[in-house]
Amino acid sequence: MTLTTLTFLMILGRCTILIYLVFCVPILLTILFFIFKNDTSLSNSNRELFFKNFNFGGHRGSPEKAPENSIQSFAKAKEDGCDLVEFDIHMSSDGVALIMHDDTTGRTGNLNLKVEETKWEHLEGIDLKPVSNVTAKIPTLIETIDWCVENGMKMLFDMKNDNLILMEMVAEEIKKRNIYDRVMVSSFNPIVPWRLKKIDPRIITGVH
């Protein structure tokens, strides 16, 4: 192979790469955009109502006055003037959505069990470690939503994993109560809000 031929092939290779970058990459990005694009228009009005008159939020309730992520902690947050409570959602091995920050119960409870590998009948018996002489149990998601609705509290759900069954349960609870303007669902994992929008585009979502 002569030097001239080799030079020609090198130039041709570079031109091929340039053509690919100029034409193929934008097409690929456009395709990906429409695949992963979610319709946010249906949740925009809900988002406006969610943030209307919003003042203070309680992270896991009021964990300095009651065990974190408990109904008692949420009640203390309300007493402190909060109009929103943030809480973390996990699911037991038998499919019960519950409120717990960690993957295990050892830090906040009197037993150390792995949440996703334990049935609810065992988790509901755990005593959360007292805070300021306040005792509590692990609440379910349904119990927590019911309390928040009854007490006029807005909610920030922190989804701890991208379990599709759990996301469908969350979407169903929001839908059947029609509380789209009172709940935001957030996660560190961007897959969670994307999937939730696919399930129900009316749900307000976020990434943190």
Give pLDDT tens digits for 25-68: 455 444 434 444 555 677 889 999 999 988 999 999 999 999 99
Average of per-residue pLDDT across 127-133: 97
Torsion of CA 143, 53, 181, 150, to 10 degrees: 30
Share of the chain above pLDDT 70, in %: 81
Average of per-residue pLDDT across 93-119: 97
The model carries a pTM of 0.81
Asked if residue 72 has pLDDT above 80, the reply is yes
Choose the weakest-confidence range: 28-37, 133-142, 189-198. Answer: 28-37
Asked if residue 132 has pLDDT above 80, the reply is yes
**Across the chain, where does the E strand assignment appear?**
57-59, 84-91, 97-99, 127-131, 134-137, 154-159, 183-187, 204-207
In the 3-class helix/strand/coil scheme, how is 75-89 assigned residue by residue?
HHHHHCCCCEEEEEE
How far apart, in Å, are the Cα atoms of 204 and each of 47, 143, 185, 193? Answer: 6, 21, 6, 8
What per-residue confidence (pLDDT) applies to 42? 72
